Structure 1
Amino acid sequence: MQSEQELVKKSMEGDTQAFEKLVLQYQNKVYALSFRYMGNEDDAYDMSQEVFLKAFRSLKTFKGNSSFGTWIFRITTNVCLDELRRRKRRIVPLSLDEAAVTSRGSEVEREIVDPSPPVDRVYEQKELSQYIQGLLDQMKPEHKAVIILRDSMDLSYEQIAYVLNCSVGTVKSRLSRARSILRKQWVERELLP
């Protein structure tokens, strides 16, 4: 079995099979990180594909200052944040009376989904996960990023600093602020009838 460094070196030399092995090694983590940023499976899948394409094209820029995993998480974070920024700029109001057009071109009626979980099932895992995702989606990108990278992906402060291109002190400060925001929102939620 080849080490990660050997696979990276071979990939940089143009060995696509070595790169495929790296993709297999990281695809689930990249997807999970993308899902946390994007909030749905389809977007997470699209972002994952874009991440690996970008990584393959940028492989020559990988200097080895960090692990390949940390480097790929940095690319994932950048790709997802870029997409979220693009979407924020191009938000167009939708009419709820108009039919939605699927990716295959057919029309379907729009359904309005209530994102808040039912009171009697508030502690079930799926609903709790949706609620937490909703809280994350409301956060500033820099706060959302540190929470996801630390608490979901379990990266070290140093790895997060590398991924976000900032100091360890900045990471700790943002993480503290982000957790404080989440804690406050959680307390407010618990006080609701």
Structure 2
Amino acid sequence: MDNRKLESWYEEYSQDIFNFLVYYNQTDDVDDLLQEVFFKAWKKSCTFKGNSSPKTWLYSIARRVSIDNFRKQKLKNLFRLQENLEHVDTPEKRLMDKEEIIELHNAIKSLKRSYREVVICRGILELSINETAEILQWSNEKVNTTYHRAKLKLGEILTFQGRMSDEAAR
């Protein structure tokens, strides 16, 4: 594979991979991880056979880089929050929206790894079942089942957080 091909993949997919890394990792070093993903892709470019899409292949590398990073750092509870607060009318609404995003982010962060992975891939990145299965190296059935269970668990967590907030406000 030539460098121009990899450069075009970087141009096309780096933002998607960056977003994946932000949600998957609890670190501020996402730029470094993104560089590592594309460095590994460059090093292993000869192994890309074209059986999957380049995007899926890069997501698989990003997942492995993230797992390695998790093992190395024994993560603390630092999570970069990407906010996209459009159409905010008032400071109060902006604060409520930000708090809801933080609650959702914390709820996702508290899920066990397999639930978090599938929620990120299917719910946040909106990847197909096939793409998610390929990235996570699962069957399509496992993706569907785990995603369903993860959504239920996420609902429980958010409901519990809501009750705790209501009690604290009293």
TM-score band by shorter chain is 0.7 to 0.9
Q: In proportion to residue count, which structure has more helix?
A: 2
User: For each residue in 1:85-109, what CA deviation from the matched residue of structure 2 results, as whole angstroms up to 9, or x when unmatched?
Assistant: 3323x87xxxxxxxxxxxxxxxxxx
Q: TM-score, normalised by structure 1?
A: 0.71
Dislocated runs of 4+, deviation >6 Å: 120-123
The corresponding residue for 1:176 is: 148
Aligned-pair identity in percent equals 29
Q: CA deviation at 1:55?
A: 0.8
TM-score (norm 2): 0.80
Q: CA–CA distance in 2 between the matches of 1:152 and 1:175?
A: 12
Q: 1:34 maps to what in 2? A: 21
Shift in alpha-carbon separation, 1:156–1:128, aligned structure 2, 3 A: same
Shift, 1:121, TM fit: 6.4
- The answer to whether the 8 Å contact 1:147/1:178 transfers is yes
State the one-letter code of the partner of 1:59: S
Match among 99, 108, 112 for residue 140 of structure 1: 112
Q: Point out where structure 2 has 5 or more consecutive residues left out of the alignment.
A: 77-91
Aligned CA RMSD, in angstroms, stands at 2.0
Q: Do residues 53 (structure 1) and 39 (structure 2) align?
A: yes
SS in 2 for 1:154: coil
Distance 2:117 2:160 in 1: 23
Q: Cα–Cα, structure 1 residues 125 and 82, in superposed 2: closer, same or farther, change >3 Å?
A: farther
2:44 equivalent to 1:72: no
For residues 75 and 190 of structure 1, what CA distance do their matches in structure 2 show? 36
Tell me whether 30-39 or 79-88 shows the greater mean CA deviation. 79-88
Separation (CA, whole Å) in 1 of partners of 2:3 and 2:119:
33
SS at match of 1:124: helix
Equivalent pairs, count:
150
Greater relative contact order (Cα < 8 A, sep 6+): 2
2:87 match:
none
